[in-house]
Structure formats: structure tokens, C-alpha cells
């Protein structure tokens, strides 16, 4: 698979990574078996994916443990990214609070290292800026983790441009992670161009529109109550029905290439620049194979023009 670089860190990764949020049974319902999740990650590595993205709150903790098991004995072939700065305030509902304090981030990093079973985290990301802690203090703590040899590079997740600029003055920011897909394009106006101009890699999460752009979801009734998409505005039945118009155009392009709609959606994200490294997540081997296939799909200028002119989705992200 094509290789791309995590910003100015120089770390090379596969053009498509694997998002590991759902592997611990978080947000998208329970994963059937831990062993099955481990096998999925190992299959991804076998197929050329070298970049794994997880976080301590996924599970909480179980996703990191699964990744740790999966990479045992293969550490030199894997780039591991994880995150700290969220805390689970209510395990029954997965309610989250933010803690970007230096003490918390350093303790969280040590705990992640133990669960992952590694000596150094390749990319450690602040999961969300904490409004109670100046970003400079959070990034300084991450910088000290680099100096201590516990982290190779640092990144941010879901922060606005002014915060990113302030953070970059404290320590080089290798990556910014945020949502980006054919139906979530907010970052295209300012944030992605800034990242491209300043050597920051962009890591799109939910590049398949939380599965919607694959065309597999035609009704809100397909989501179980423990699937957090059931509560998102875009997945409510009235909005979903209108948003199917977006999917139909993606499906049209997919038919022209003998590809799947999901592959078209991922190929569009990959076309946005060499610094863009999507991290789709999945719990299914067949979907993993499908996502990997997107790396070899080349969209025409006509395809890209049609995709760039898709209508905005009905409903907010959250």
C-alpha cells in the first residue's frame, strides 16, 4: 500500500489506517469476542495496514489491550497511535469529561504504555482540548513525554484553528485528527489548508460517514439502541431519508468503477492530499478488505467534480 508521512515527524504509515474505537465494544455495540478483534487487527497488518489508532477511553481500556495483544511480536512493523485527555465519568452511558492537565496526561500515557505492552507510543494525541487547561500547558506535558522517550510524536484531535496555532508554538504538532468525509467537510475551509501549509498530517475519522456512505443503512430502524448512531440527528429517519440522495450519487460513481460506495468515499478522502490519512474503523473482516481496496481506486476528474458538488447533509453531526 502507498505510504504517507505523519507530518514533520517523518514517521511513515500506510495511506489508510485502522481506527480501533469499536474493537472494545464502544459506541457501535459490543464486539463478539476479544480473540476475534485481535484477529481482525492482525489481518489488517497482514494486508499492509501499518497504522493503528486507538485511545484509552475506547472500552474504556479494552481497545488498547486488544491492540497490545495483536501487535505482540510484530512491534517493528506497526505505528501505534493512541490518545489521552478524556475520562469516563459514567461507564453505564460512556459519558466523558475532559482532563488536559499535565498530571493526568502523563499518568494516562504511562497507563496506555502498559496496556499496549510497548516502550514508546509512536503518536500520542490530546483527545480533546480541555477548556479548563491552557492548550500550552497540555502540549508542554506532551512535549515532556517526547523528551522522556515515551512518545515519538504528538498530535491533537478535534480542535479549532486558533488552538492548533497556539499549540504548534510550544512543540511541533505532527497530526490533527478530526471528522472528514463526503458529508462532513467543515475542515476543508481553513483547517486542512493550514495543515497542508505547515506540515501537519490530517487524520480523518469517520471517513465513511459512520457507515452511512457505504449504502448499507437505509432506515433508522437498522440501529440498535446501544448504537450511538441511533441518537445522532443525521441518522433520524426523516433526515436519513433525505440524506440517501447523497449515497445514491456515490453509488452511481461506484458502479462506473465496479467498486463499492465505501471505496469511492474513501478514495475521495485520499484524493484531498498526501498529508491526509483516513482511519476507517470496522468490526468485520469483509469490510476491512473493502476499505483496503479503496487505496487502489483512482477517481476521474469528472468523479471528483460530482463528489465535490454533493449537497450538504440534513442534520447536525451530534
Ranges of beta strands (E only) in 1-92 are: 3-5, 12-14, 18-19, 51-53, 79-84, 86-90
Give every CB contact of residue 273 below 8 A, 6+ residues apart in sequence: 192, 196, 202
Task: Kindly name the residue from 28, 58, 124, 217 that is annotated as catalytic.
Answer: 58
SS3 (DSSP) at 97: strand
E strand or H helix that includes residue 96: strand 95-98
Cβ atoms of 154 and 146 closer than 8 Å: yes
Cβ atoms of 112 and 52 closer than 8 Å: no
| CA–CA gap between residue 209 and residue 262 (Å, rounded) | 9
| CA–CA gap between residue 157 and residue 39 (Å, rounded) | 28
SS3 (DSSP) at 176: strand
Residue of 147, 159, 213, 168 whose CA lies nearest to 191: 159
Number of residues that make up the chain: 318
Give every CB contact of residue 67 below 8 A, 6+ residues apart in sequence: 20, 23, 41, 52, 54, 80, 82, 116
C-alpha cell at 10: 517523518
287 in catalytic set: no
CA quadruple 47, 291, 307, 228: dihedral positive or negative?
negative
Q: Give me the active site residues, please.
A: 58
Amino acid at each position: 500500500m502507498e505510504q504517507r508521512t505523519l507530518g514533520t515527524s517523518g514517521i511513515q504509515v500506510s495511506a489508510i489506517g485502522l481506527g480501533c474505537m469499536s474493537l472494545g465494544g464502544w459506541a457501535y455495540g459490543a464486539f463478539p469476542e476479544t480473540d476475534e478483534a485481535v484477529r481482525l487487527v492482525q489481518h489488517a497488518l497482514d494486508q499492509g495496514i501499518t497504522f493503528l489508532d486507538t485511545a484509552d477511553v475506547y472500552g474504556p481500556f479494552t481497545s488498547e489491550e486488544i491492540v497490545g495483544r495483536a501487535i505482540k511480536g510484530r512491534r517493528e512493523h506497526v505505528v501505534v497511535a493512541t490518545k489521552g485527555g478524556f475520562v469516563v465519568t459514567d461507564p453505564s452511558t460512556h459519558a466523558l469529561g475532559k482532563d488536559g492537565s499535565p498530571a493526568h496526561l502523563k499518568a494516562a500515557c504511562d497507563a496506555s504504555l502498559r496496556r499496549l505492552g510497548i516502550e514508546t507510543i509512536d503518536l500520542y494525541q490530546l483527545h480533546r482540548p480541555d477548556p479548563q487547561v491552557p492548550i500550552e500547558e497540555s502540549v508542554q506535558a506532551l512535549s515532556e513525554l517526547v523528551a522522556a522517550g515515551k512518545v515519538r510524536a504528538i498530535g491533537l484531535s478535534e480542535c479549532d484553528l486558533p488552538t492548533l496555532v497556539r499549540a504548534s508554538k510550544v512543540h511541533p504538532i505532527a497530526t490533527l485528527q478530526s471528522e472528514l468525509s463526503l458529508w462532513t467537510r467543515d475542515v476543508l475551509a481553513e483547517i486542512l489548508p493550514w495543515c497542508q501549509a505547515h506540515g501537519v498530517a490530517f487524520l480523518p475519522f469517520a471517513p465513511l460517514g459512520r457507515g452511512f456512505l457505504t449504502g448499507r443503512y437505509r432506515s433508522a430502524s437498522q440501529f440498535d439502541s446501544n448504537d450511538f448512531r441511533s441518537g445522532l440527528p443525521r441518522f433520524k429517519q426523516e433526515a436519513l431519508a433525505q440524506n440517501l440522495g447523497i449515497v445514491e450519487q456515490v453509488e452511481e460513481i461506484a458502479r462506473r468503477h465496479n467498486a463499492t460506495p465505501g471505496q469511492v468515499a474513501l478514495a475521495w478522502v485520499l484524493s484531498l492530499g498526501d498529508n491526509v490519512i483516513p482511519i476507517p474503523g470496522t468490526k468485520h473482516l469483509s469490510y476491512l478488505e473493502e476499505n483496503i481496496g479503496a487505496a487502489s481506486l483512482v477517481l476521474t476528474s469528472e468523479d471528483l467534480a460530482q463528489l465535490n458538488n454533493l449537497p450538504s447533509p440534513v442534520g447536525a453531526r451530534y
